[in-house]
Amino acid sequence: MAAAPPNQTEPRPTAREAFWIAVQTAVAGVAALLLYRAMHLPPSSAPWCVVSAVLIFQPKVTDSRDLAIARSLANIVGAAVGALTASLLGVNWASLGAATMVVVLLCYAMHLDAAIKSACACIAIVMFTQSGNVKTAGIERVVGVIIGCVVALGITFAVTMFQRATSHSHSPNQPTPT
């Protein structure tokens, strides 16, 4: 049996809990894709919607909320810096390196540490877009990420509300109703 990572503060979920987390994560990804398609958005950014929903979904609402906010803001920073850098300096190793440094520092200053990697990935995705229009690629990426984050938050919230409504919330000091 593998040891838990040293920074893990909560016990691993049981097999049953892991199954339900898997179901909910899959629902988040599929729901994000269906919503994205229903909005008739460009198919090229659909993967970012699904990836965001899957990465953001967490069993606890506060965890999902914090990740969604950080990922959304970090992707806005990454897309903006990537598009601006590509427009002004072109796409080459120096502009990619400069954009990455700027994004890491901006995310650090904005306390978006949990999403710095996402912001950096966004730079490369936007700068190396196959469509040739970095501004459009940046906007599409951000829209896809935000839709995925919102869907994951909605599912997390719905699951939490369902669990609260169906759980036995009697405290040990209260008599059970008969």
- pLDDT tens for 90-144 read 999 999 999 999 999 999 999 999 999 999 999 998 998 866 788 888 898 899 9
Please state, as a whole number, how many other Cβ atoms lie within 10 Å of the Cβ of residue 163. 11
- No. of helices (H) and no. of strands (E), the chain: 6, 0
pTM above 0.85, yes or no: no
Tracing tokens 């002004």 back to the chain, one arrives at 88
Q: Which of 117, 108, 131, 96 is nearest to 51 (CA)?
A: 117
DSSP assignments along 111-170, one per residue: T-GGGHHHHHHHHHHHHT-SSS-HHHHHHHHHHHHHHHHHHHHHHHHHHHHHHHHHS---
Q: Is the pLDDT of residue 10 over 90?
A: no
- How far from 146 is each of 128, 166, 177, CA to CA, in Å? 21, 30, 45
pLDDT at 7: 57
pLDDT at 163: 84
